[in-house]
Amino acid sequence: MGIKTSPTPPLSNPHICIIGSLNIDFVTSTPRCPGPGETLTATALNVTAGGKGGNQAVAAGRASFLTPTSQDVSVSMIGAVGAEDPYYSTLLKPCLEKSGVSTENIEESTDFQTGSASIIVEEAAGGENRILVVPGANHGGIMSDVAQIVGAVKAQEVSPSVIVLQGEIPRKTTLGLLEYFNGGVADDRGCVVFNPAPVFPEGISLEALRNTAVLIMNETEAVQMSRCIAGLSNADAAKLESLQPEELAPRFHDVAGVQVVLITLGAKGVYFSTKSGRRGVVNGVRVPKVVDTTAAGDTFVGYFSTALARFLATGAILEAFDNEIQGAVEKANAAAAKCVQRRGAMQSIPFSYDME
């Protein structure tokens, strides 16, 4: 157990660090979902590599391959799996590494199993998915220890300019990491891209969320996260669900000081808004056939984070990203549209050189 002590391979600027979950996905495709007590014959079972953290790391890595042989952004992953898990060594690890993600900081735990997700893809509903997650190692060892994670980030040869967090690790860890990394860019801590998926049932404190650089949510998560923000009257809270993205986003800027808010709208595309007033919608890409939407949101997060890391590596400040945001959203939206046309999680994420 414990983080490997072998030296991290030299990482070149810019650098992204993804801190999050790694899962093995058991994906069953079925014409329709069974009702209570009903048994159905499904179409197929695929065992694949997934987990929101791992998917986003793979997306960031693949986004950085502008050609099949050159990577312009280095990507590392901090996560945890079960020790000697054959699925890790044969599926997850090779997939991460072939996508240009450093696996040096993935803890191999003897106390916990690799996390898993049972995913049902309903073909009759346009590839809509239903997911049950067993956290396993994603909730133990290093993933429950903020100081250890911060130490692993600091030990990296190149300080990450972007830190990516999601909601599949313990809430306490996420709050601690948000508070630490949102604490000051001046201290070389990197900009946080936070994708609160799934939203913790207990919510997120305003203190932790305060000054998050980038918040990426789907429409449901945007409503759920709005409830976390202080300053809402009960009447407001009841009305949240009927609010449009352009009504939800300003609350995150004004109340929590979030710099960039991105609300993904499924087939309709993405709403974006910045604290300094840049806002708009990038329409969804019309695709011939939606096969499986698994990892579409993660593809968007990874691609957007890579664009941000490239921008910050020029020495520019986050506020100046306003001029680049539309292009970054368009590229990430196009990558996510590619993803929905393929089956699976990590395997469905496109490489950048394969995007045209």
Does 53 appear as a known binding residue? yes
Q: Give the C-alpha distances (Å, rounded to integers) separating 285 from 71, 195, 250, 289.
A: 26, 22, 26, 11
Which of 63, 137, 153, 336 lies at the binding interface for ligand ATP (CB under 6 A)? Answer: 336
What is the DSSP code (8-state) at residue 235? H
The reply to whether 254 belongs to the active site is no
Contact 263, 256 (CB under 8 A): no
266 contributes a contact to ligand ATP by CB under 6 A: yes
Q: Is 100 annotated as a binding residue?
A: no
Q: Is 171 annotated as a binding residue?
A: no
Q: Does 165 bind ligand ATP (CB under 6 A)?
A: no
Task: Determine if 173 is a binding residue for ligand ATP (CB under 6 A).
Answer: no
Q: What is the CA radius of gyration of the chain?
A: 19
**Taking the complex as a whole, how short is the minimal distance between the CB of residue 231 and ligand ATP, in angstroms?**
26
* Gap between the Cα atoms of 339 and 301, Å rounded: 12
333: annotated binding-site residue?
Answer: yes
Are the C-beta atoms of 200 and 171 separated by less than 8 Å?
A: yes
83 or 265: CB nearest ligand ATP: 265
Q: How far is the CB of 119 from ligand ATP (least distance, A)?
A: 10
How far, in Å, CA of 19 to CA of 80, rounded?
10
120 part of the interface to ligand ATP, by CB under 6 A: no
Instruction: Using CB under 6 A, pick the residue from 240, 265, 281, 313 that binds ligand ATP.
Output: 265
**101-102 and 115-122: which strand pairing?**
unpaired
Choose, by CB under 6 A, the member of 121, 146, 215, 337 that binds ligand ATP. Answer: 337
- 188 annotated as a binding-site residue: no
Sign, CA torsion 134/132/48/41: positive
Residue 222 lies near ligand ATP (rule: CB under 6 A)? no
- Contact between residue 56 and residue 20 where contact means Cβ atoms under 8 Å apart: yes
By CB under 6 A, tell whether 260 contacts ligand ATP: no
User: What are φ and ψ of residue 323, in 5° steps?
Assistant: -75, -15
Q: Which of 187, 188, 298, 354 is catalytic?
A: 298
191 is in an annotated binding site: no
Query: Shortest gap between Cβ of 318 and ligand ATP (angstroms)?
Result: 22
Rounded to an integer, what distance in angstroms lies between the CA atom of residue 61 and that of residue 266? 23
Beta carbon of residue 334, minimum distance to ligand ATP (angstroms, whole number): 8
Alpha-carbon torsion angle 144, 139, 178, 274, nearest 10: 170
Q: Is 290 in the site for ligand ATP (CB under 6 A)?
A: yes
Cβ closest to ligand ATP, residue 67 vs residue 283: 283
Give, as one character, the DSSP assignment of residue 158. Answer: S
What part of residues 267-286 is at the interface with ligand ATP (CB under 6 A)? 267, 269-270, 284-285
Give yes or no for a contact between 337 and 348, defined as CB atoms under 8 angstroms apart.
no
| Nearest distance from C-beta of residue 46 to ligand ATP, angstroms | 16
| Distance (Å, whole) CA 266 – CA 90 | 32
| Residue 247 CB, nearest approach to ligand ATP (Å) | 17
Residue nearest to ligand ATP (CB): 297
Exposed/middle/buried for residue 77 (C-beta within 10 Å: 0-12, 13-18, 19+): buried
Catalytic sites, residue numbers:
298
Positions at the binding site for ATP: 218, 264-269, 297-298, 333
Point out which residues bind ligand ATP (CB under 6 A). 197, 218, 264-267, 269-270, 284-285, 287, 290, 293-298, 300, 333, 336-337, 340
